[in-house]
Structure 1
Amino acid sequence: MPKRILQGTVVSDKNDKTVVVRVERRFAHPILQKTVRRSKKYKAHDENNQYKVGDVVSIEECAPISKDKRWTVVAAHA
Structure 2
Amino acid sequence: MAEISKQEIIEKQRKFLHDISSQLMIAMGMVETTHALLSRDGREADAEKLEKARKALTRMSEMLKAHRSEIKNLMAETKNIQ
Query: Could you state the TM-score of these two structures normalised by the residue count of structure 2?
Result: 0.20
Say which structure is richer in strand. 1
Structure in which a larger fraction of residues adopt helix:
2
> Which structure's CA Rg is the greater one?
2
User: What TM-score, normalized to structure 1?
Assistant: 0.21
RCO higher in structure (CA 8 A, sep ≥6): 2
